[in-house]
Protein backbone atom coordinates (compact mmCIF):
# COMPACT_ATOMS: atom_id res chain seq x y z
CA UNK A 1 0.00 0.00 0.00
CA UNK A 2 1.39 3.41 -1.00
CA UNK A 3 1.63 6.09 1.67
CA UNK A 4 2.97 9.61 1.18
CA UNK A 5 4.78 11.77 3.70
CA UNK A 6 5.28 15.43 2.87
CA UNK A 7 8.14 16.80 4.93
CA UNK A 8 7.74 20.57 5.31
CA UNK A 9 10.91 22.12 6.68
CA UNK A 10 10.04 25.24 8.66
CA UNK A 11 10.33 28.75 7.31
CA UNK A 12 12.76 31.42 8.42
CA UNK A 13 12.72 32.12 12.16
CA UNK A 14 15.31 33.98 14.24
CA UNK A 15 17.32 31.67 16.48
CA UNK A 16 17.42 32.42 20.19
CA UNK A 17 19.09 30.26 22.85
CA UNK A 18 16.55 31.42 25.43
CA UNK A 19 13.51 30.72 23.23
CA UNK A 20 14.83 27.34 22.02
CA UNK A 21 14.31 25.89 25.49
CA UNK A 22 10.65 26.96 25.34
CA UNK A 23 9.72 25.72 21.86
CA UNK A 24 11.82 28.02 19.73
CA UNK A 25 11.14 31.32 18.03
CA UNK A 26 8.13 32.15 15.90
CA UNK A 27 8.43 32.66 12.16
CA UNK A 28 9.74 35.93 10.74
CA UNK A 29 7.58 38.00 8.36
CA UNK A 30 9.21 36.16 5.44
CA UNK A 31 8.59 32.84 7.20
CA UNK A 32 4.89 33.69 7.58
CA UNK A 33 4.62 34.65 3.90
CA UNK A 34 6.35 31.41 2.91
CA UNK A 35 3.99 29.38 5.14
CA UNK A 36 1.07 30.77 3.12
CA UNK A 37 2.88 29.64 -0.04
CA UNK A 38 3.31 26.17 1.49
CA UNK A 39 -0.48 26.04 1.98
CA UNK A 40 -1.03 27.07 -1.63
CA UNK A 41 1.37 24.38 -2.89
CA UNK A 42 -0.10 21.55 -0.78
CA UNK A 43 -3.73 22.65 -0.62
CA UNK A 44 -4.77 20.42 -3.54
CA UNK A 45 -2.74 17.35 -2.54
CA UNK A 46 -5.67 15.72 -0.66
CA UNK A 47 -3.78 15.65 2.63
CA UNK A 48 -5.32 13.31 5.21
CA UNK A 49 -3.43 14.25 8.36
CA UNK A 50 -1.18 17.06 9.59
CA UNK A 51 1.61 16.35 12.06
CA UNK A 52 4.34 18.60 13.41
CA UNK A 53 7.27 18.94 15.72
CA UNK A 54 6.13 20.76 18.84
CA UNK A 55 8.52 23.67 18.10
CA UNK A 56 6.72 26.88 17.13
CA UNK A 57 8.50 27.44 13.80
CA UNK A 58 7.54 23.99 12.49
CA UNK A 59 3.88 24.25 13.63
CA UNK A 60 3.54 27.78 12.28
CA UNK A 61 4.85 26.72 8.87
CA UNK A 62 1.99 24.20 8.44
CA UNK A 63 -0.69 26.25 10.26
CA UNK A 64 -1.99 28.05 7.12
CA UNK A 65 -2.39 24.61 5.48
CA UNK A 66 -4.26 23.32 8.55
CA UNK A 67 -6.56 26.34 8.42
CA UNK A 68 -7.15 25.88 4.68
CA UNK A 69 -7.97 22.18 5.14
CA UNK A 70 -9.84 22.75 8.43
CA UNK A 71 -7.68 20.13 10.14
CA UNK A 72 -5.94 19.97 13.49
CA UNK A 73 -2.17 19.59 13.76
CA UNK A 74 -1.02 16.57 15.79
CA UNK A 75 2.16 17.48 17.66
CA UNK A 76 5.01 15.17 18.59
CA UNK A 77 7.85 16.20 20.89
CA UNK A 78 9.84 13.31 19.38
CA UNK A 79 10.05 15.23 16.10
CA UNK A 80 11.77 18.34 17.49
CA UNK A 81 15.07 19.44 16.02
CA UNK A 82 18.17 17.57 17.08
CA UNK A 83 20.28 19.55 19.53
CA UNK A 84 23.76 19.56 17.99
CA UNK A 85 25.26 20.60 21.33
CA UNK A 86 24.06 21.99 24.63
CA UNK A 87 22.59 25.48 24.42
CA UNK A 88 25.05 26.27 27.22
CA UNK A 89 27.98 25.43 24.95
CA UNK A 90 28.64 28.25 22.44
CA UNK A 91 30.04 26.92 19.16
CA UNK A 92 31.56 28.96 16.32
CA UNK A 93 29.63 28.36 13.07
CA UNK A 94 32.54 26.58 11.34
CA UNK A 95 32.85 24.12 14.24
CA UNK A 96 29.05 23.74 14.30
CA UNK A 97 29.02 22.75 10.60
CA UNK A 98 31.95 20.36 11.05
CA UNK A 99 30.08 18.75 13.95
CA UNK A 100 26.95 18.28 11.84
CA UNK A 101 29.00 16.82 8.97
CA UNK A 102 30.80 14.37 11.27
CA UNK A 103 27.49 13.33 12.87
CA UNK A 104 26.25 12.04 9.52
CA UNK A 105 29.35 9.90 8.89
CA UNK A 106 29.68 8.72 12.50
CA UNK A 107 26.13 8.32 13.78
CA UNK A 108 27.39 7.96 17.37
CA UNK A 109 29.26 11.29 17.34
CA UNK A 110 27.93 14.33 19.13
CA UNK A 111 29.23 17.62 20.40
CA UNK A 112 29.15 18.39 24.15
CA UNK A 113 25.72 17.54 25.56
CA UNK A 114 24.30 17.17 22.06
CA UNK A 115 22.35 14.31 20.52
CA UNK A 116 23.86 11.75 18.16
CA UNK A 117 22.24 10.84 14.87
CA UNK A 118 21.51 7.41 16.34
CA UNK A 119 19.79 8.92 19.40
CA UNK A 120 17.73 11.25 17.21
CA UNK A 121 16.66 8.29 15.05
CA UNK A 122 15.75 6.28 18.15
CA UNK A 123 13.29 8.97 19.27
CA UNK A 124 11.90 10.00 15.86
CA UNK A 125 11.71 6.79 13.81
CA UNK A 126 9.12 5.05 16.04
CA UNK A 127 6.79 8.01 15.40
CA UNK A 128 7.37 7.83 11.64
CA UNK A 129 6.76 4.05 11.60
CA UNK A 130 3.59 4.50 13.67
CA UNK A 131 2.34 7.17 11.26
CA UNK A 132 3.07 4.86 8.31
CA UNK A 133 1.02 2.12 10.04
CA UNK A 134 -1.82 4.26 11.38
CA UNK A 135 -2.26 6.18 8.12
CA UNK A 136 -1.31 3.51 5.58
CA UNK A 137 -2.49 4.50 2.12
CA UNK A 138 -2.91 8.13 3.19
CA UNK A 139 -1.10 11.43 2.70
CA UNK A 140 0.66 12.85 5.77
CA UNK A 141 2.20 16.31 6.14
CA UNK A 142 4.92 16.66 8.78
CA UNK A 143 6.12 20.10 9.89
CA UNK A 144 9.79 19.51 10.58
CA UNK A 145 13.36 20.80 10.82
CA UNK A 146 16.34 20.36 8.51
CA UNK A 147 18.52 18.18 10.68
CA UNK A 148 15.89 15.77 12.01
CA UNK A 149 14.33 15.51 8.52
CA UNK A 150 17.72 14.49 7.09
CA UNK A 151 18.29 12.06 9.97
CA UNK A 152 14.92 10.41 9.28
CA UNK A 153 15.67 10.19 5.55
CA UNK A 154 19.08 8.67 6.37
CA UNK A 155 17.33 5.90 8.32
CA UNK A 156 15.43 4.86 5.18
CA UNK A 157 18.24 5.63 2.68
CA UNK A 158 21.84 5.87 3.90
CA UNK A 159 22.82 8.20 1.04
CA UNK A 160 21.16 11.12 2.84
CA UNK A 161 23.50 13.19 4.97
CA UNK A 162 25.36 16.46 5.32
CA UNK A 163 25.38 17.43 1.61
CA UNK A 164 21.61 16.95 1.37
CA UNK A 165 21.02 18.91 4.59
CA UNK A 166 23.29 21.73 3.40
CA UNK A 167 21.30 22.29 0.19
CA UNK A 168 17.86 22.40 1.82
CA UNK A 169 16.08 25.74 2.15
CA UNK A 170 13.77 27.38 4.69
CA UNK A 171 11.08 26.44 4.01
CA UNK A 172 11.39 23.31 1.92
CA UNK A 173 9.02 20.52 0.91
CA UNK A 174 9.86 16.89 0.11
CA UNK A 175 7.28 14.33 -0.99
CA UNK A 176 8.26 10.82 0.12
CA UNK A 177 6.58 7.77 -1.39
CA UNK A 178 6.51 4.65 0.78
CA UNK A 179 5.43 1.17 -0.21
CA UNK A 180 4.50 -0.28 3.14
CA UNK A 181 7.47 0.98 5.19
CA UNK A 182 10.02 1.07 2.39
CA UNK A 183 10.99 4.44 0.94
CA UNK A 184 10.51 4.31 -2.84
CA UNK A 185 11.10 7.91 -3.93
CA UNK A 186 11.73 11.46 -2.76
CA UNK A 187 10.67 14.49 -4.78
CA UNK A 188 11.39 18.11 -3.91
CA UNK A 189 8.25 20.22 -4.33
CA UNK A 190 9.43 23.62 -3.08
CA UNK A 191 10.59 25.94 -5.85
How many CA atoms, within 13 angstroms, populate the side-chain half-sphere of residue 156? Answer: 23
Q: How many domains does the chain have?
A: 1
Q: What is the pLDDT of residue 18?
A: 63
Domain that holds residue 74: 2-188
Is pLDDT above 70 for 75? yes
Tell me the CA distances in angstroms from 94 to 20, 87, 99, 151, 160, one per residue in order.
21, 16, 9, 20, 21
First to last CA, the chain: 29
pLDDT digits 0-9 by tens, 27-56: 999 999 999 999 999 999 999 999 999 999
pLDDT band at 100 (very low <50, low <70, confident <90, very high): very high
Q: Is 0.75 surpassed by the pTM of this model?
A: yes
Closest CA to 4 of 111, 115, 137: 137
pLDDT digits 0-9 by tens, 17-27: 666 666 778 89
CATH of the domain at 27: 3.40.50.1240
Amino acid sequence: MTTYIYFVRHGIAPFSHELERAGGASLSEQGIADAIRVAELLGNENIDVLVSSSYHRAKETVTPLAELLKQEIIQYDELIERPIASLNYPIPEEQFLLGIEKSFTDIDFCMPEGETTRQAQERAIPVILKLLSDYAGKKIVIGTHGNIMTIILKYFDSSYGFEFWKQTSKPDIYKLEFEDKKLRSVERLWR
